[in-house]
Structure 1
Amino acid sequence: MSTLWRRIATEDAGEDYARAYAERFRRLAARGVDVHGEAALVAQLLPPPARVLDGGCGTGRIAVRLAELGYEVVGSDVDASMVAVARDDAPHLEWHVADLAAPEPVTEPVDLVLLAGNVLPLVDRGDLPAVGRHLVRQLAPGGRVLAGFGLDADHLPGDCPVLDLGLVDTAFSEAGLVSTGRWSSWDRDAFTGEGYVVATWAAA
């Protein structure tokens, strides 16, 4: 597991960080906060039924919502503690402990790969080309990648280093992915080039 991710995950929540992470979103939902913006955008871009890989799925919040909406969902995350919580909460779904920079354990192609929750900035920069290649191998013809992440320190957890969007575009382009859109939020607000980006790429 990335030492950067481990440090950021545990600095506020301690060793039970995975369960604390899941509980934080449950409390938000209980207060009436909409915590399903990512799944709502997936539904706008690719109505169900479709097959989705939730890469960097964490404790499964988005994958569970997508399954409720009628998608066939596979969740994967490099953090075994996060995946354990997801399995406990939704044992009927398919979960894997896997690194985005290594071949995913998904046997059937997917129509969309979702990378939400600042997954990409937590990838070692040298691994971005491998991530791009492995994402392409997961996609069915015409499949897409949808990712959202912060572009500055205010939109990233802990001391996570800022990821240049250009590095992602270059790595994904070399892997055979074409940029097809970007916004500044999961609500598809116009992209300003600052703060936060939600972007899509399609298999060439």
Structure 2
Amino acid sequence: MPRRARILDTGCGTGRVGGALAEAGHDVVGVDVDVDPALIEAAEQDHAGPRWMVGDLAELDLPAQGVTTPFDAVVCAGKVMTFLAPSTRREVLRRFRAHLAPDGRVAIGFGAGRGYEFGEFLADAAAVALEPDLLLSTWDLRPFRDDSSFLVALLRPA
């Protein structure tokens, strides 16, 4: 990904991931749920530069908030996907895809045993026209295997 890539950090919390991406030269927008706006306040204080926003990932509509340029990448690190209500998971993935540039990628990571099986997640991604580009078992690029306890899925538009 080139410098100044546009990256959407979903479930950004205090901005640790988005802040590091911004320091590396990327244009970052971070969104976290409105359950605890203090997380966004901490991101704003600790990581100047990115645009930090509060919002519901299942209703994410950044163009309505003035963010109209699609993203080169959507990042969803941590356990965000497992915290979502099962009824909203597909819609969240659909919203990620809707904010993605045609040649962009979505990177999502989460662990097993948290109520969202990897196969179910991949089926949900396929249902919203996202397909695996690469599956890993860690953020440090180890290959995904059937017995992996963590999944990092790099998805592309189908």
TM-score by length of 2: 0.89
Equivalent residue for 1:136, pick from 97, 104, 111: 97
Q: How many equivalent residue pairs?
A: 151
Counterpart code for 2:88: D
Match of 1:181 among 128, 134, 138: 134
Question: 1:119 maps to which residue?
Answer: 80
Shift of 1:88: 1.6
Mapped to 1, the partners of 2:129 and 2:116 lie a distance apart of 20
Matched, 1:71 2:26: yes
Instruction: State the Cα distance separating 1:191 from its structure 2 match.
Output: 1.1
Query: 1:180 deviation in Å?
Result: 1.2
Does the Cα contact within 8 Å between 2:22 and 2:49 map onto a contact in 1? no
Distance 2:96 2:120 in 1: 16
Map 1:153-168 → 2, pairs under 5 A:
161-168=114-121
Q: What SS does the corresponding residue of 1:101 show, helix, strand or coil?
A: helix
Any idea what the Cα deviations from partners look like across 1:27-77, whole Å, max 9, x if unmatched? xxxxxxxxxxxxxxxxxxx24231000000010011111111111111110
Query: Cα distance, 1:121 vs. partner?
Result: 0.6
Task: Report the counterpart of residue 4 of structure 2 in structure 1.
Answer: 49
Q: Which has the higher strand share?
A: 2
Distance in 1 between the 2:90 and 2:151 partners?
Answer: 20
User: Aligned to 1:198, what secondary structure does the other structure show?
Assistant: strand
Q: Which moved more, 1:188-197 or 1:57-66?
A: 188-197
CA shift at 1:187, angstroms?
A: 1.0
Identity fraction in percent:
37
Output one character per residue of 1:51-107: Cα deviation in whole Å (capped at 9) or x when no partner: 000000010011111111111111110031211110122243201101211123242
Is 1:150 paired with 2:106?
Answer: no
2:50 matches 1:93: yes
**SS of the counterpart of 2:127?**
helix
Aligned residue in 2 for 1:33: none
User: Which sections of structure 1, spanning at least 5 residues, go unmatched?
Assistant: 1-45, 153-160
Unaligned runs of at least 5 residues, structure 2: none
The one-letter code of the counterpart of 1:54 is D
Asked if 1:192 corresponds to 2:139, the answer is: no
Larger Rg: 1
User: What SS does the corresponding residue of 1:201 show, helix, strand or coil?
Assistant: strand
Is the Cα–Cα contact under 8 Å of residues 150 and 162 in structure 1 kept in the other structure? no
Judging by fraction of residues, say which structure has more helix. Answer: 1
In structure 2, what residue type is equivalent to 1:86? Answer: A
Query: Is 2:84 the counterpart of 1:84?
Result: no
